Amino acid sequence: MNLLVTGGAGFIGSNFVRHTLTENPDYKVINFDLLTYAGNLENLRDVESNPNYTFVKGNITNRELLDYLVKKHDVNVIVNFAAESHVDRSITNPDVFITSNVQGTQFLLNVAKDNNIDKFVQVSTDEVYGSLGETGYFTETTPLNPNSPYSASKAGADMLVQSYFETFGMNVNITRCSNNYGPYHFPEKLIPLMISNAMEGKELPVYGDGKNVRDWLHVKDHCAAIDLVIKSGRAGEIYNVGGHNERTNNEIVELIVEKLGVSRELIKYVADRLGHDRRYAIDPTKLTDELGWNPKYTFDTGIEETIQWYIDNQEWWKNIKSGEYQNYYTKQYGEK
């Protein structure tokens, strides 16, 4: 199998590239990534000399380059991770979310269609379903109801993917996963932001009342789910991915404070995110029943391992935090 993985230098993509090269030694992986602020080749230092791995820098809106690569490497499967992924950035600068997430997906779909690719997997998100009340779960038939420019762009992409199944009979799958955590998570997102800030003795900014709920899944369990969908997902189907690990943001931040042994005084309640979704929770029954997927990590072991990874890999996140990130941080949180 020759896999074109787009966005493979980001958080989930890099974990997926590593997973694939390890679990499927007969696959070839072409990692195609623009290396935006979120793309980082340091995430893949350990695999770069693997003969089954190739990296190409490029934009998923570059049809000619994609077409050339698909032909050159005889690609049979495309997995699309490439996207602008941070909700807060989509509130301050939505334009690039439409270009990369919507238009980029459509360009990729066309390249896949023109080259008769065997399968196209779109890595989507539970955020396309919008927000839940205190009870209930998102299933694959929950209507799309996105609330942020980010989730709206992902929902738009999902609809394009489905349209290529209905209109052109392309073999597509969409995965909609809940919040991931784990190694190489960019420190703008809640968990790595709180771990790294706590280690630096910085304030821990909690939006609103901190009672918003997210459903956390270890990134390696997500990668295993995508692997299964590539191998056995039924054409045209959507698969929700989640491990029933709901936590309020307050619980997450308090856990990090406790595990790192820092002062609770660092926790600071700040202005709420605009359009802040209250609760996400995934029902993964279809993935479990049809494809036999089950998460391997409990949240307790996963978060313990993740905190330890950030303790052991301070150079990785300090490099990120010392660059352009500082401008972002000051704009977002009003301090350095």
Count of residues binding ligand TDX (CB under 6 A)? 16
166 to 195: interface string for ligand NAD, x by CB under 6 A: -----------x-xx-----x---------
- What residues contact residue 30 under an 8 Å CB cut-off, 6+ apart? 2, 3, 4, 5, 54, 55, 56, 69, 73, 75
Q: Which of 105, 125, 175, 196 forms a contact with ligand TDX (CB under 6 A)?
A: 125
What DSSP assignment string belongs to 147-162?
Answer: -SHHHHHHHHHHHHHH
Distance CA 173, CA 237 (A): 5
Q: Which residue is nearest to ligand TDX (CB)?
A: 125
Task: Name beta bridge partners: 28.
Answer: 2
Chain residues 255-294 in contact with ligand TDX, contact rule CB under 6 A:
273
Decide: is 9 part of the binding site for ligand NAD (CB under 6 A): yes
Distance CA 265, CA 286 (A): 43
In the complex, minimum distance from the CB of residue 331 to ligand TDX, in angstroms, rounded to a whole number: 13
Give the helix ranges, DSSP H, for 35-86: 63-72
For tokens 């926790």, name the residue. Answer: 267
Decide: is 39 part of the binding site for ligand TDX (CB under 6 A): no
In the complex, minimum distance from the CB of residue 317 to ligand TDX, in angstroms, rounded to a whole number: 14
Q: What's the token pair of residue 208?
A: 């609103």
Q: Is 127 labeled as catalytic in the residue annotation?
A: yes
Angle ∠(304,247,290) on CA atoms, nearest 5 = 90
Q: Is 164 labeled as catalytic in the residue annotation?
A: no
Q: Which of 19, 28, 86, 202 forms a contact with ligand TDX (CB under 6 A)?
A: 86
126, 215, 246, 277: the catalytic one is 126
Distance CA 293, CA 17 (A): 19
| Residue 6 interacting partner from ligand NAD, ligand TDX, none (CB closer than 5 to 8 Å by kind) | ligand NAD
User: Interacting stretch for ligand NAD, rule CB under 6 A, among 32-40, 246-254, 278-286, 297-305?
Assistant: 32-40
Q: Is 37 labeled as catalytic in the residue annotation?
A: no
Decide: is 60 part of the binding site for ligand NAD (CB under 6 A): yes
Decide: is 104 part of the binding site for ligand NAD (CB under 6 A): yes
Closer Cβ to ligand TDX, 28 or 86, answer by number: 86
Yes or no: say if 253 and 204 are a contact pair by the CB < 8 Å rule: yes
Angle ∠(205,210,213) on CA atoms, nearest 5 = 125
Decide: is 193 part of the binding site for ligand TDX (CB under 6 A): yes
Distance CA 54, CA 155 (A): 30
150, 164, 184, 297: the catalytic one is 150
In the complex, minimum distance from the CB of residue 48 to ligand TDX, in angstroms, rounded to a whole number: 25
| Residue 212 interacting partner from ligand TDX, ligand NAD, none (CB closer than 5 to 8 Å by kind) | ligand TDX
Active centre residues (catalytic): 126-127, 150
